[in-house]
Structure 1
């Protein structure tokens, strides 16, 4: 397949391009310099010229705090950009896979969110990503939406890198313990995305690594596996105020993924181990 990957210079996009090439597909990686997805005419012209078999849409405005101040910009990228890609996919007959987020939910649940659970974003980032889901579905009857959470990979800024940097600099860090979710390694997510787009099993999926932890527990495990002596202090969300509200509970049910016969992503601790080996941080 010829597959266009948006956001190909990003944390997830780079691993998606690698996985496509590993599986023998022709990956056409694009970032903002090649195509501004917020310009509809450019998106339609580009896709009509390239004529991909599939589009893996990883590009996004992901700065959760900045989105509160810049919701219009986030909307242009996350919502309108996705709509234009959906229109282009319809014109060219390409499959479209859109990466969405746990932030479409309010975080008040006490058990894992199913794919059909009512959405209720509590911030600008979640609102704009949900708008992307809705606009995509307005234009396409067949689509893949993959919601994920707590993403970390070798190529971008993420919680693991931040913790290792702060831990080495300070020897002590404070991390919230009352927000719970499932970390997601970009290599594992990319593998699932490519496996999914090779099929016609359309729909909304949740994909994170298996297992559940708090940010505090995640930090403790990072330092343990990396062999770095750091004192980790548990904080409440109230003790660590941020411009954007975070969902307290971000656990996504992988029932749809398993029912459709896909291989569940490995446990998050094993994924962290693989990541630390990949980035030469494993002690």
Structure 2
């Protein structure tokens, strides 16, 4: 995909793009119904993906991967400036505004996606860009990726007016689920929400924290599914974390929405 700048087809219906170090292309496919994109953040050098002319897009998913790279050939990791990642992801999501079902996976603290500096004895290449903190109002703490996207001023999220189903997997949804509520502000027709192994922790203050005072827009939401792996129970973190998420969901979701909690066996 590194040398591909455009995917154009009048018959293409399903498109899956696996992780690569350079993702710079646009998609022009009027009949596109399904799009799945996996982004490998370790070693990512450039990202700029947009979808054009896909009015009938039914399903889309974006997975942010954090797989370790092989030592051979990767004595260090360099990537594009982390400041550019939220606006580029936001721009990509804007191009999916017609989608009916959306899944976001791995939208956690940006610090987890930013590589550490080279170890002692390894030279710093000229291309290397190291930035510990992500953009946000509080530079002393990492900003969750989802919140960083919501805080974008020049590339704001659109209204996902056709979105009926939203799945968030391994995402940081903010203290008092403020980040989640902020995102739901853009999904007025949402009917089903699924949270898989999401975390609910205190994050730096931002515009997302004001969303609870603006009122809840997703009045059509009828079902919230909360799923977590049973493996987490043995690590002593699963139950407290899911209890925290459930408590915040019960507090902030519409009273008409049913809430189901499911423990999933992890293989």
Q: Which has the higher contact order (CA 8 A, sep 6+)?
A: 1
Is the helix fraction higher in 1 or 2?
Answer: 1
Q: TM-score, normalised by structure 1?
A: 0.34
Q: TM-score, normalised by structure 2?
A: 0.36
Is the strand fraction higher in 1 or 2?
Answer: 2
